[in-house]
Amino acid sequence: MKKNQIAIYGAGGFAREVAWLVETCNKNKKKYEVVCYIDDNPEKEGKKLNGYSVLNLRTFRELYPHAKVVIGVGFPQTRQAIEEKAVLAGYGFATIIHPGVEMSPWVKIGDGTVICAGNILTTNITLGKQVQINLDCTIGHDVVMEDYVTLAPGVHVSGWVHLGNRVYVGTGAVIINGTEEAPIRIGDDAIIGAGACVIESVAKGLTVTGVPAKPVDIKVAR
């Protein structure tokens, strides 16, 4: 049985970035072996992406029964559905962190989380499972991110902010700091639009955009 085999669930752009992230973790010492992508779209099955084959879940189970999975899909709700499917198939998840990430010892990280290059996480931060932090984000003190949160590239989250389950924060958005007595809270399934500046709490399920961020009625395809 080979140890530390990794499959990337998904075959889109971010999945390819995650595969590269895993390869980067191997530069000084080989920690992982990327074995394939997994995708549920039969049109992608059998194709090659940057040197790795795309398999369906059934074939993956036959060939790599002991591998772990990293989910390379950005939308939180889709990621949750994929996680549930992989768990039913008997798979666990790897947590992948770029070796250049700046992070204090006082950061708790949930299973299956992906933290890309260029990120800074300061102190007393809690990340749930299957969180994705894309390129060049900063996370301040006492931030909590619940399960399946996604930060797109260049997001800045200041101290005393609580992001609920499946929150999506778009590229270049900023969330200002709350306080210990009154943290800023972003409710479950909220979407923060690209470039937005959030200066107050956001209710669950809302989409907010602009500077300062205000609610808008936008239907987002997932």
Q: Are 194 and 172 in contact (CB under 8 A)?
A: yes
| Neighbour tally for 119: CB within 10 Å | 22
66, 98, 141, 162: the catalytic one is 141
User: Tokens standing for 93?
Assistant: 């998840």
Give the pLDDT confidence score for residue 2 in this predicted structure: 61
Give the pLDDT confidence score for residue 147 in this predicted structure: 98
Between CA 14 and CA 197 the distance in angstroms is 25
C-alpha pair distances (Å), 65 with each of 89, 136, 203, 214: 10, 34, 42, 47
pLDDT (tens, 9 = 90+) of the chain, 222 residues, equals 466 899 999 999 999 999 999 999 988 788 899 999 999 999 888 899 999 999 999 999 999 999 999 999 999 999 999 999 999 999 999 999 999 999 999 999 999 999 999 999 999 999 999 999 999 999 999 999 999 999 999 999 999 999 999 999 999 999 999 999 999 999 999 999 999 999 999 999 999 999 999 999 765 544
| Residue closest to 21 by CA, chosen among 114, 147, 111 | 114
Place of tokens 């700091």: 177
The answer to whether 141 is a known catalytic residue is yes
Beta-bridge partners for 34? 6
Domains and CATH numbers, the chain: 5-94 (3.40.50.20), 98-208 (2.160.10.10)
